[in-house]
């Protein structure tokens, strides 16, 4: 069996870690990055717990014979950009957008917006995204 000699790569990685002072303050919270300086997701450190929770939920689903249900498990993101893409409103389905809008409207109790929502709810996704952005601006004020 052939084994690759990775001593050079290991040495270069150790030099890189030392040069950047990555381990100088291990208790200090800092942004984690890849070797190519891309930001890693802040919740990547909880990968183990998230994976175990997803695994447990999957086993429960199997045990209860609910394999046909479309349960969504907690996603695990490697890069911060991956999380941004996932959270982007434009990438959500129409059903998800409707739920987000209705949650925001329930906290506002604005009859004019509710009436407007009843008309927009039946329209295409682009109209719902535009309305959601308006509602979120009002919520942020």
Domain total in the chain: 2
Q: Same domain for 97 and 82?
A: no
Q: pLDDT-based confidence at 22, cuts 50/70/90?
A: confident
Query: If you average pLDDT over every residue of the chain, what do you get?
Result: 85
| Residues 83 and 93 reside in one and the same domain | no
Take residue 101 and report the two structure tokens written for it.
Answer: 């809008």
Question: What's the CA gap between 114 and 24, in Å, rounded?
Answer: 54
Cβ atoms within 10 Å of 137's Cβ, excluding its own: 9
Instruction: Please give the average per-residue pLDDT across 112-124, as a whole number.
Output: 88
Last residue of a domain, one of 51, 69, 87: 87
pLDDT of residue 48: 92
Flag whether pLDDT at 79 surpasses 90.
Answer: yes
Question: In terms of residue numbers, what domain contains 102?
Answer: 89-140
At 111, list the tokens: 């009859």
The pLDDT score that the predictor gives to residue 27 is 60
Q: What is the pTM of this model?
A: 0.60
Q: How far is CA 48 from the centre of its chain?
A: 16
| Token code pair at residue 7 | 């001593």
């Amino acid at each position: 069996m052939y084994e690759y000699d990775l001593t050079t790569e290991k040495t270069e990685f150790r030099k890189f870690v030392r040069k950047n002072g990555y381990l100088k303050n291990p208790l200090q919270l800092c942004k984690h990055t890849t070797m190519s300086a891309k930001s890693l997701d802040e919740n990547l450190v909880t990968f183990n717990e998230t994976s175990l929770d997803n695994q447990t939920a999957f086993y429960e689903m199997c045990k209860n014979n609910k394999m046909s249900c479309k349960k969504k498990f907690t996603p695990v993101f490697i890069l911060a950009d991956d999380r941004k893409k996932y959270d982007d409103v434009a990438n959500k389905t129409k059903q998800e957008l409707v739920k987000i809008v209705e949650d925001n409207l329930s906290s506002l109790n604005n009859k004019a917006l509710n009436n407007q929502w009843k008309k927009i709810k039946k329209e295409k996704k682009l109209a719902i995204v535009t309305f959601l952005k308006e509602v979120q601006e009002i919520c942020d004020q």
